[in-house]
Amino acid sequence: MQRRDFLRGSVMAGAAFAFSHRRLWAQSSDAHVEILVNEPVGVISPNIYGHFTEHIGGVIYDGVWVGPDSKIPNKYGIRSALLDRLKEIGTPIIRWPGGCFADSYDWKDGIGLAANRPKRTNFWEVDPDAARLHHKGSQIFEPNSFGTDEFIQFCRLTGAEPYLAANLRSLSALEFDHWVEYCNSPAGSTTLAEMRGAAGFPDPFRVRYWGVGNESWGCGGNFAPEEYASEFRRFTTWVPSFDLDLQFIGAGPNGNDIDWTHRFFEQLYVGHRYNNSSFAGWSVHHYSWNLSRGKTQDWIKGKGDALTFDSVDWYELLRESSRIEQILNDQWAAMGQYDTAHRVKLVVDEYGPWYRQGSEVDLTHIFGQQITMRDALATALTLDTFNRNADKVMMATCAQLVNNLNALFLAHEDRFISTPNFHVFAMYAAHQGAQALRAEISTPDIRYSRDGEPARFWGLKGSASRKGNTVTLTAVNPDVARPKDVEIALHGGKVKSASGVALASNDIHAHNTFDQPDTVRTAKLDLSTRGDFVTATFPTASVVKVEVILQ
Ligand code: AHR
């Protein structure tokens, strides 16, 4: 597209016109970004930058936990390299122990002396990925070496708050109460507090966030929404609080299943009304997996490859990831019909691309996969979406932290690397706890050929926030063919200085390996300033951060 066609082709031209007549844009730019410094959207909860760790494949055993007697550097059995990196990016919250595993997990198996803990069959033993394994190790027969105490230790070492997922399918409501009591009852107050003290943790863990079941429409019990709603009532009524403002998170829909949400909320809010101020979050999971270009909805056949893909697959994956915005809006609207004050917020506690098996760094890493630039852009656009919806999203945890799906890290035995996703989280950390600002982006759609048919994809998206005198803009340029000359105008603020960083590569398949751990990493982005304008060239297929210091 010629640059003079710019405004005609702009996807957000309507919004942009509202401001652009006041400004003197450079004639040559490909995209305009207008940041409205005085139009806050809401505070970006740091918890949007959370992580998820499940007892599946190589996440806990090999990823997080190496054991206190390991030669691999560790703190209390937890991999030191992982701790160091998590501290670098600021880790507000970690979800554990599942996922589907949570609804098969008896928390009592994971406390007390490690030598006395029972060995159990892991939930994922049934998965076809597990069937490939010759050696049935800790991924199949759960040793329970990593339990509640070790998880809390992990959180304390990273500075994260714990988010526990309770078993609603196969444990009772009373056992849920007892897990809360084990974690939160005051030192020496109960038998469970004494057991916690005997393990070296006299002080309460003060766990506030509790998921009540997981994917209860599927692996979490195969419930109808009304059935799940009545279980949810039972599990969350009169749970001992120990003076904490407990935050319960309900298991939301399969994808964007609005029917599940309507029927659950109707059961809770219409008629015999459920009044529990601890019901704080509604969980949403969004995996981008169907790369079949509309040919199938089959969970196995629809998946693509993590490493072998063309530019159409690239846009396909980013389009699937972009659906999160629609999901947030649809779920929010449905919830608001019952919870009219919107006390319950959205918790996206699983998200990321999901490819077919084959790129995992070790066979034991069930759902392990390589992470390329494509996944970095998918992660970045998802985080930008959360920032833009800071008023709706209270928490998000990326699935999963290490050796699984949308990992930030890959680890096997003594080898450990960061994936491009780690760099995205490092770049976006500046948004944690910042005031989200309204930002309007106008640029033409990208046009390309999808199986012989003309197709389009948005040209640039991002989010902005302000903390003190610093305005941060993060953005994704998904264009596989062209960089973008971008002009940024700040309305309501005077630019003192600006700096930038970009995550880019000339190969869209670029990824880090144990042998080449720094193939993908961030580099300085050159910027120039002119009055209240900042201009920069956003590289082809990149994630970009611009930080502007206001006068
Ligand atoms: O993250 C892997 C699995 O995906 C989780 O256990 C489950 O909740 C989801 O279906």
Q: What is the pLDDT of residues 162-213, one digit of tens each?
A: 999 999 999 999 999 999 999 999 999 999 999 999 999 999 999 999 999 9
Binning pLDDT at 50, 70 and 90, where does residue 132 land?
confident
Cα angle 260-261-267, degrees, rounded to a multiple of 5: 90
Per-residue confidence band for 23, with pLDDT thresholds at 50, 70 and 90: low
- pTM > 0.85: yes or no: yes
Beta bridge partners of 522: 503
- 100 C-beta closer than 6 A to ligand 1: yes
CA 125 – CA 127 distance, rounded (Å): 6
Q: Is the pLDDT of residue 3 over 50?
A: no
Q: How confident is the model at residue 402 (pLDDT cuts 50, 70, 90)?
A: very high
Please confirm whether the linkage preceding 97 is cis (ω < 30° from 0).
yes
Compute φ and ψ for 452, nearest 5 degrees: 85, -10
Residues sharing a CB contact under 8 Å with residue 181, sequence separation 6 or more, in sequence order: 190, 192, 193, 240, 242
CA distances from 304 to 23, 114, 166, 321, 505 (A): 44, 40, 32, 14, 21
Whose tokens are 């105008």? That residue is 489
Whole-number pLDDT of residue 355? 98
CA of 125 to the centre of ligand 1 (A): 14
How far is the centre of ligand 1, averaged over its atoms, from the C-alpha of 100 (Å)?
Answer: 6
> Is any atom of ligand 1 closer than 6 Å to the C-beta of 98?
yes
pLDDT score at 18: 44
Is the per-residue pLDDT at 434 higher than 90? Answer: yes
Rounded CA-CA distance 162/172 in Å is: 22
What average pLDDT score do residues 118-124 get? 96
Judge whether 163 and 93 are in contact, CB under 8 Å: yes
- In the prediction, which pLDDT does 331 show? 98
Cα separation of 65 and 82, whole Å?
10
Q: How confident is the model over 308-329, as a mean pLDDT?
A: 98
pLDDT tens for each residue of 253-281 = 999 999 999 999 999 999 899 989 999 99
pLDDT of residue 147: 98
Closest to 16 (Cα-Cα) out of 1, 34, 4, 3: 34
More confident residue, 39 or 422: 422
For the chain, state the CA radius of gyration: 24
Residue 129 has pLDDT above 90, yes or no: no
Q: Give the C-alpha separation, 429 to 434, whole Å.
A: 10
Closest among 223, 224, 225 to 263, alpha carbons compared: 225
Quick one: average pLDDT of 390-405? 98
Tell me the pLDDT of the chain averaged across its residues: 94
- CB 103 less than 6 A from any atom of ligand 1: no
Q: Which neighbouring-strand residues pair with 442?
A: 32
Instruction: Indicate if ligand 1 lies below 6 Å from the C-beta of 489.
Output: no
- According to the model, what pLDDT value does residue 130 have? 87
pLDDT band per the 50, 70, 90 thresholds, residue 135:
confident
Q: Which of 147, 95, 102, 149 is nearest to 124 (CA)?
A: 102
Catalytic residue numbers?
A: 215, 350
Q: Measure 105 CA to ligand 1 centroid, in angstroms.
A: 14
* Beta-sheet pairing, 542-550 with 495-503: antiparallel
pLDDT tens digits along 347-388: 999 999 999 999 999 999 999 999 999 999 999 999 999 999
Question: Do 430 and 464 meet the contact criterion of CB atoms below 8 Å apart?
Answer: no
pLDDT at position 9: 33
Q: What is the DSSP letter of 62?
A: T
* Residue 27: predicted pLDDT: 73
Burial zone of 340 (CB within 10 Å; 0-12 exposed, 13-18 middle, 19+ buried): exposed
In angstroms, what CA-CA distances link 155 with 11, 49, 67, 161, 298? Answer: 43, 14, 16, 6, 37
Residue 399: CB within 6 Å of ligand 1?
yes
Query: Ligand 1 centre from 54 Cα, in Å?
Result: 8
User: What is the percent of the chain where pLDDT is above 90?
Assistant: 91
